[in-house]
Structure 1
Amino acid sequence: MKLSQNIAPILDALDKYKKNRVVPFDVPGHKQGKGNLMLRDFLGERCLSVDVNSMKPLDNLCHPVSVIKDAEDLAAEAFGCDNAFFMVNGTTCSVQAMIMSVCKDGDKIIMPRNVHRSAINAVILTGAIPVYVSPGINSELGIPLGMSMRDLEQAILTNPEAKAVFVNNPTYYGICSDLKGIIELAHKHNMLVLADEAHGTHFYFGEGMPAAAMHLGADMSAVSVHKTGGSLTQSSLLLVNAKRVNPGHVRTTINLTQTTSGSYLLLASLDIARKNLAINGKDIFAKVLELSEYARQEVNSIGGYYAFSEELVNGDTVFAFDRTKLSMHTLSIGLAGIEVYDILRDEYSIQIEFGDIGNILAIISVGDTYFAIERLVASLTEIKRLRSKNRSGMFDHEYISPVVKHSPKAAFYAPKKRVAIADSKHEVSGEFVMCYPPGIPILAPGEMITEEAIEYIQYSKQKGCLLTGAEDMEMQFINVLDL
Structure 2
Amino acid sequence: MNMLTQQDTPIRKALEEQRHNRLAHFDVPGHKGGRGNKELRDFLGEECMRLDMNSMKPLDNLCHPVSVIKEAQELAAEAFGAKKAFFIVNGTTAAVQAMIMSACKAGEKVIMPRNVHRSAINALVVNGAIPVYINPGTNKQLGIPLGMSVEDVKKAILENKDAKAVLVNNPTYYGICSNLCEIVKLAHQYHMLVLADEAHGTHLYFNEDLPVSAMAAGADMAAVSMHKTGGSLTQSSILLTNNNVNSDYVRQVVNLTQTTSGNYLLLSSLDIARKNMVLNGAEMIRKTLGFSSYAREEINKLGGYYAFGEELIDGDMVYGFDTTKLSVHTRNIGLAGIEVYDLLRDDYGIQIEFGDIGNILAIISAGDRNLEIERLIAALSEIKRLHQKDKAGLFDHEYIPPHIIMGPQQAFYSRKVSMPIEKSEGRICGEFVMCYPPGIPILAPGELITRDVLNYIQYAKEKGCFMTGTQDMKIENICVVEES
* TM-score, scaled relative to structure 2: 0.99
Which residue in 2 is equivalent to 1:17? Answer: 18
CA distance in 1, matches of 2:288, 2:86: 26
**Over residues 129-176 of structure 1, what are the superposed CA-to-partner deviations in whole Å (9 max), with x where a residue is unaligned?**
100000000000000000011111110000000000000000000000
Native 8 Å contact 1:288 1:364 kept in 2: yes
CA distance in 1, matches of 2:20, 2:416: 57
* Aligned residue type for 2:149: S
CA distance in 2, matches of 1:78, 1:417: 50
* Aligned residue type for 1:143: I
Report SS of the residue matched to 2:200: coil
* Aligned residue type for 2:471: E
Alignment of 1:295-444 (within 5 A): 295-444=295-444
CA distance in 2, matches of 1:193, 1:6: 31
Mapped pair 1:112 → 2:122: no
Which residue in 2 is equivalent to 1:78? Answer: 79
Q: CA deviation at 1:102?
A: 1.1
Q: CA deviation at 1:2?
A: 2.8
Q: CA deviation at 1:382?
A: 0.2
Q: CA deviation at 1:206?
A: 1.4
Task: Please list every run of 5 or more consecutive structure 1 residues that lacks an aligned counterpart in the other structure.
Answer: none
* Aligned residue type for 1:405: I
**Over residues 400-454 of structure 1, what are the superposed CA-to-partner deviations in whole Å (9 max), with x where a residue is unaligned?**
1100000000000111111111111111100000000000000000000000100
Q: CA deviation at 1:285?
A: 0.6
Q: CA deviation at 1:30?
A: 0.4
**Over residues 229-275 of structure 1, what are the superposed CA-to-partner deviations in whole Å (9 max), with x where a residue is unaligned?**
00000000000002x11000000000000000010000000000001
CA distance in 2, matches of 1:91, 1:289: 24
Native 8 Å contact 1:135 1:147 kept in 2: yes
Q: CA deviation at 1:311?
A: 0.4
Which residue in 2 is equivalent to 1:134? Answer: 135
Which residue in 2 is equivalent to 1:171? Answer: 172
CA distance in 1, matches of 2:77, 2:475: 43
Which residue in 2 is equivalent to 1:451? Answer: 451
CA distance in 2, matches of 1:395, 1:211: 33
**Over residues 24-60 of structure 1, what are the superposed CA-to-partner deviations in whole Å (9 max), with x where a residue is unaligned?**
1100010000000110011000000010000000000
Which residue in 2 is equivalent to 1:180? Answer: 181
Which residue in 2 is equivalent to 1:280? Answer: 280
* Aligned residue type for 2:286: A
Which residue in 2 is equivalent to 1:464? Answer: 464
Which residue in 2 is equivalent to 1:35? Answer: 36
Q: CA deviation at 1:207?
A: 2.5
Which residue in 1 is equivalent to 2:122? Answer: 121
**Over residues 448-471 of structure 1, what are the superposed CA-to-partner deviations in whole Å (9 max), with x where a residue is unaligned?**
000010000000000000000000
CA distance in 2, matches of 1:149, 1:76: 28
* TM-score, scaled relative to structure 1: 0.99
Q: CA deviation at 1:369?
A: 1.1
CA distance in 2, matches of 1:163, 1:130: 11
* Aligned residue type for 1:246: N
Task: Please list every run of 5 or more consecutive structure 2 residues that lacks an aligned counterpart in the other structure.
Answer: none
Q: CA deviation at 1:187?
A: 0.2
* Aligned residue type for 1:333: I
CA distance in 2, matches of 1:449, 1:265: 43
Native 8 Å contact 1:112 1:133 kept in 2: yes
Native 8 Å contact 1:207 1:286 kept in 2: no
Q: CA deviation at 1:8?
A: 0.4
Which residue in 2 is equivalent to 1:231? Answer: 232
Q: CA deviation at 1:93?
A: 0.1
* Aligned residue type for 1:48: M
Report SS of the residue matched to 1:327: strand
**Over residues 201-246 of structure 1, what are the superposed CA-to-partner deviations in whole Å (9 max), with x where a residue is unaligned?**
100001200000001110000000000000000000000002x110
* Aligned residue type for 2:354: F
